[in-house]
Amino acid sequence: MKIVGKIILGTLWFALLTLLTQVGGLVWLLSLLLAKSLTVKFRFKFSNALVFIILYAITAILVVPPLARKFGRVPLPVFSNPYLKPENFFFAAFNRHYVRPELRRALEEIAGQIQGRYPGSVIWYLDANFPFIDGYPLEPHFSHKDGKKVDIAFYWNDTKTGEPTRGVPSPFGYGVCAEPLPGEYDYAADCENKGFWYISLDKTLAEPFFNKANYEFDKEKTRELARLLAEHPAVGKILIQPHLEKRLGLERYDKFRQQGCQAARHDDHFHVQL
């Protein structure tokens, strides 16, 4: 019975690592074999967890990037570009920051442009794509599976100081919404009334971790980011909630779309694609 339990737990752990990182499950299996081999060779019990962490880090840093290029994908900057960064390090650590080279170039160009307008500003990216295989899903997203998509965070200010926040006041980057103001169309509520209760799941999960009253949506800078994204020739489509498209004055651009009720709401980030 104990063996069966270990097999079930091992299978679940393998599935979870694969779901979150694409390569983590395979690295975990290799780390078990390596830890056992090292224990036999050196007559010292090597920790499976420690071996996994070291092997995973080596794989993510040295092995995955060159292999990803064969699939037409490159990692977004993690430390190399001070104006284009992951909103949370786990997006990079979990291999969720791979895109087509042309999308990386576009984001780097736009990051330089917004830096020129608002010195010190950073484009904070969220989920992009996994490094390998077109069609391989990046959960929980529907379409992040071809290297052509990336989510970009909005800009927020601290209400007490008026200073820009570092990224988004959410532990996982999503769920801090620039919600509809009185008189604006509440698309998310309309979807919920139609039975799509999960459209605001990110918001529900994030709310316990921050006080919304401490943060103010930076309308001006977010509008400028939206404009630069829409005017870049490499960008083909941007998803945004209807009330923000109108509030930010973006109706004249034909690249903005709404995501439909089946997907998560998009008044906490831009979904950008080639």
Q: What digits encode the pLDDT tens for the residues 221-262?
A: 999 999 999 999 999 999 999 999 999 999 999 999 988 888
- Rounded average pLDDT over 137-166: 94
DSSP state of 88: S
- Rounded average pLDDT over 267-271: 95
Span 74-273 CATH architecture: 2-Layer Sandwich (3.30)
Element containing residue 74 per DSSP (H, E): strand 74-75
- Angle (nearest 5°) at CA 23 between 21 and 26: 130
pLDDT at 71: 96
- Rounded average pLDDT over 41-57: 83
pLDDT at 43: 64
pLDDT at 263: 85
* Inter-residue contact 248 to 219 (CB < 8 Å): yes
For the stretch 108-112, contacts whose Cβ atoms lie closer than 8 Å and that sit 24 or more positions apart, written own/partner, are: 108/77, 108/81, 108/84, 109/232, 110/225, 110/228, 110/229, 110/232, 111/81, 111/83, 111/84, 112/83
pLDDT at 35: 85
pLDDT tens-digit readout, 62-84 = 999 999 999 999 999 999 999 99
- Rounded average pLDDT over 138-156: 95
DSSP labels for 143-156?
A: S--SS-EEEEEPPE
pLDDT at 37: 84
Domain boundaries of the chain, sorted by first residue = 2-69, 74-273
DSSP state of 59: I
As a whole number of angstroms, the distance between CA 31 and CA 41 comes to 15
Runs of H (alpha helix) within 59-210: 64-69, 89-93, 101-117, 187-193, 201-206
**Quick one: what percent of the chain has pLDDT higher than 90?**
80
Cα–Cα separations (whole angstroms), residue 93 to 28, 62, 202, 208 = 15, 13, 21, 25
pTM of the model: 0.92
pLDDT at 145: 94
The count of C-alpha atoms lying within 13 angstroms of the C-alpha of 89, restricted to the half-sphere facing its C-beta, is 1
